[in-house]
């Protein structure tokens, strides 16, 4: 094997390894995290980060396609409220406006697609609404 063919073979092998490592990413490698675990009752702004757990870095440009807010932590899953996604103030931060009609435990359920990944990132985040 000549030096040139060895170099090409090594380059192809390293490229294959890099592509395989990238393909090993899984939706379980991502999670939503609440910025604050409390919000005021009434009209509330909820900030959530989407993080790559392998690097702890924020993940921008995810497409949020499912969102629900309810009082499941207080055994009132049927008590839901309207939730609206707002423009993102920074990459990897996702902002929502919700009407928290009662003080107590609330659950924010989110589903998203991360660019370049197959599958769906889904999390259920629990926080408290205070008076």
Return the sign of the alpha-carbon dihedral for residues 10, 14, 19, 20. Answer: positive
Rg (CA), the chain: 20
Taking only the tens of pLDDT, the chain with its 131 residues reads 565 554 565 455 544 444 444 445 688 999 999 999 999 999 999 999 999 999 999 999 999 999 999 999 999 999 999 999 999 999 999 999 999 999 999 999 999 999 999 999 999 999 999 99
| Residues 6+ positions from 10 with CB-CB distance below 8 Å | none
Domains defined for the chain, CATH in brackets: 25-127 (2.60.40.10)
CA–CA distance, 7 with 87 (Å, rounded to integer): 48
Q: 25: which DSSP letter?
A: -
Q: 32: which DSSP letter?
A: E
Backbone torsion region of residue 56, taken as left when φ is above 0, otherwise alpha when ψ lies between -120 and 50, otherwise beta: left
Q: Is 96 helix (H, G, I), strand (E, B) or coil?
A: strand
CA–CA distance, 31 with 28 (Å, rounded to integer): 7
Residues composing the chain: 131
| pTM exceeding the 0.95 threshold for the entire prediction | no
């Amino acid at each position: 094997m000549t030096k040139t063919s060895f170099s090409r073979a090594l380059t192809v092998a390293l490229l294959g390894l890099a592509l395989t490592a990238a393909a090993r990413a899984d939706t379980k490698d991502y999670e939503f995290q609440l910025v604050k675990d409390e919000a005021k009752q009434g009209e509330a702004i909820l900030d959530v980060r989407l993080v790559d757990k392998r690097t702890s870095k924020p993940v921008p440009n995810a497409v949020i396609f499912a969102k629900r807010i309810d009082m499941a932590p207080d055994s009132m899953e049927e008590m839901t409220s309207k939730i609206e996604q707002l423009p993102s103030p920074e990459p990897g931060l996702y902002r929502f406006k919700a009407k928290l009609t009662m003080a107590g435990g609330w659950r924010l359920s989110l589903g998203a697609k991360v660019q370049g990944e197959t599958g769906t990132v889904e999390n259920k985040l629990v926080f408290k609404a205070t008076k």
